């Protein structure tokens, strides 16, 4: 008997290969066919690899939308983006398409949906159509970025919270003619959250910078000038290549990133070519800061380099 939507077979953990792409962030995962289910063991291996490498890359995954959703659901419940374009018939799939009429605008360092009270655990992006050249995505290790801060800045941000907002999407609503009442409804539904400036990762116990240029408005309890200057200093951490990995996409490449541990920046250099991607986004929990939480051991090296310019105060 054929069962509709039954998956062909199950991926086994023993076939998985993990190839790091930098000392601390990014690994290519081999030995998996994501058109098949993941066994519980394979899911556990992928989850552990994500915690260790913060972003995982998969190549040549010619999968269906259902396969993409099934993969995402192995790691948690999926969200529906209230402002983005959902794929027809699949509201949990965010369609990110750019072409001659719509240049890419995700070229700003960010972690996904930090304007939510419970921002995303992780995002799974599949490239459906790649430009001939360009359109890479950069990922920055925000643990390493935190560890690389000078001690006086670490002390200043210790225990602080910052306010986040969906200001860019609000401007988009206004451009598309939303009324004051409609905007007010969104404001009521998505009230500005205050998240810790430094987040303790709920699974690894490591500390990461958790403010980003796209969605953070201010550090609470500081005057504007001081908050702006400190945020600029923290945003700058993501921009050091020492903390980054860069991924060159091809059709059917997938990246799965941990929004609690890294930020990303989609390079918008391919206009007027077309680049089309689909993202499923796994819901996360409420961010917290716990100075006492002991980090779990990992084999990935913590960042041990020096960025001396950044450390001059
Ligand atoms: C995103 O910001 O989620 C999109 C990243 C990309 O298109 O590479």
Q: What is the pLDDT of residues 131-174, one digit of tens each?
A: 999 999 999 999 999 999 999 999 999 999 999 999 999 999 99
Lowest model confidence (mean pLDDT) among 12-21, 189-198, 218-227, 250-259: 12-21
The CA 225 to ligand 1 mean position distance, Å, reads 30
In ligand 1, the atom with minimum distance to the C-alpha of 249 is: 8
In ligand 1, the atom with minimum distance to the C-alpha of 96 is: 7
The CA 222 to ligand 1 mean position distance, Å, reads 31
Q: Cite the DSSP H helix spans in 54-149.
A: 65-73, 142-147
In ligand 1, the atom with minimum distance to the C-alpha of 106 is: 2
Q: Cite the DSSP H helix spans in 239-286.
A: none
Q: What is the mean pLDDT of residues 105-127?
A: 98
pLDDT surpasses 80 at 305: no
Q: Ligand 1: residues whose CB is within 6 Å?
A: 96, 106, 112, 123, 125, 137, 264, 266, 277, 279
pLDDT surpasses 50 at 258: yes
pLDDT surpasses 70 at 224: yes
Instruction: Decide: helix, strand or coil at residue 275.
Output: strand
pTM: predicted TM-score of the whole model, two decimal places: 0.94
Q: What is the mean pLDDT of residues 16-24?
A: 95
User: CA-to-CA distance for 24 and 299, rounded, in angstroms?
Assistant: 10
Pocket test for ligand 1, best of 245, 279, 282 (most atoms within 8 A of CB): 279
Q: What is the mean pLDDT of residues 216-243?
A: 97
pLDDT surpasses 80 at 2: no
pLDDT surpasses 70 at 25: yes
Q: Where are the beta strands (DSSP E) in 238-274?
A: 244-247, 254-258, 262-266
Q: Name the residue with tokens 């949990």.
A: 92
User: CA-to-CA distance for 264 and 145, rounded, in angstroms?
Assistant: 13
Pocket test for ligand 1, best of 121, 244, 266 (most atoms within 8 A of CB): 266
Confidence of residue 10 (pLDDT cuts 50, 70, 90): confident
Q: What is the mean pLDDT of residues 288-299?
A: 87
Q: What is the mean pLDDT of residues 215-232?
A: 98
Residue with CA at minimum distance from ligand 1 atom 5:
266
In ligand 1, the atom with minimum distance to the C-alpha of 94 is: 3
Tokens of residue 282, six digits: 């796994």
Report all structural domains of the chain as residue ranges with CATH numbers, in order of start. 10-311 (3.60.130.10)
Which positions ≥6 away from 139 have C-beta within 8 Å? Answer: 25, 26, 54, 55, 244, 245, 246, 247, 255, 257, 262, 263, 264, 265
Confidence of residue 4 (pLDDT cuts 50, 70, 90): very low
Please give the pLDDT value at position 1: 36
pLDDT surpasses 50 at 82: yes
Q: What is the mean pLDDT of the chain?
A: 93
Pocket test for ligand 1, best of 268, 277, 280, 281 (most atoms within 8 A of CB): 277
Confidence of residue 223 (pLDDT cuts 50, 70, 90): very high
pLDDT surpasses 70 at 20: yes
Confidence of residue 308 (pLDDT cuts 50, 70, 90): low
Tokens of residue 189, six digits: 């539904």
Residue with CA at minimum distance from ligand 1 atom 2:
106
Q: Active-site residues: which are they?
A: 110, 112, 264, 279
Residue with CA at minimum distance from ligand 1 atom 1:
106
The model's pLDDT over 33-79, given as tens digits with 9 standing for 90+, comes to 999 999 999 999 999 999 999 999 999 999 999 999 999 999 999 99
Please give the pLDDT value at position 304: 65
């Amino acid at each position: 008997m054929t069962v509709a939507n039954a998956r062909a077979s199950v991926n086994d953990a023993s076939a998985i290969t993990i190839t790091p792409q930098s000392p601390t962030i990014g690994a290519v995962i081999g030995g998996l066919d994501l058109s098949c289910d993941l066994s519980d063991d394979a899911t556990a291996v992928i989850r552990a690899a994500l915690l260790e490498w913060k972003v995982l890359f998969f190549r040549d995954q010619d999968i269906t939308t259902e396969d993409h959703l099934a993969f995402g659901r192995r790691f948690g419940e999926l969200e529906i983006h209230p402002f983005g374009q959902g794929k027809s018939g699949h509201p949990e799939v965010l369609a990110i398409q750019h072409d001659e009429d719509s240049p890419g605008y995700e070229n700003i360092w960010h972690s996904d949906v930090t304007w939510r009270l419970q921002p995303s655990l992780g995002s799974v992006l599949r490239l459906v159509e790649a430009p001939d050249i360009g359109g890479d995505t950069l990922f920055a290790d925000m643990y390493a970025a935190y560890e690389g801060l000078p001690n006086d800045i670490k002390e200043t941000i210790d225990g602080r919270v910052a306010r986040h907002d969906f200001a860019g999407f609000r401007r988009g609503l206004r451009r598309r003619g939303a009324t004051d009442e409609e905007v007010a409804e969104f404001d009521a539904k998505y009230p500005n959250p205050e998240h810790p400036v430094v987040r303790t990762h709920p699974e690894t116990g490591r500390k990461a910078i958790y403010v980003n240029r796209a969605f953070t408005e201010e550090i609470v309890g500081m005057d504007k000038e001081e908050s702006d200057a400190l945020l600029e200093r923290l945003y700058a951490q993501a921009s050091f290549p020492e903390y980054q990995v860069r991924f060159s996409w091809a059709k059917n490449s997938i990246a799965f990133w941990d929004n609690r541990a890294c930020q990303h920046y989609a390079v918008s250099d391919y206009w007027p070519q077309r680049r089309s991607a689909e993202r499923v986004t796994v819901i996360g929990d409420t961010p917290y800061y716990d100075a006492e939480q002991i980090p779990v051991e990992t084999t990935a090296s913590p960042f041990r380099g020096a960025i001396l310019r950044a450390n001059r105060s």
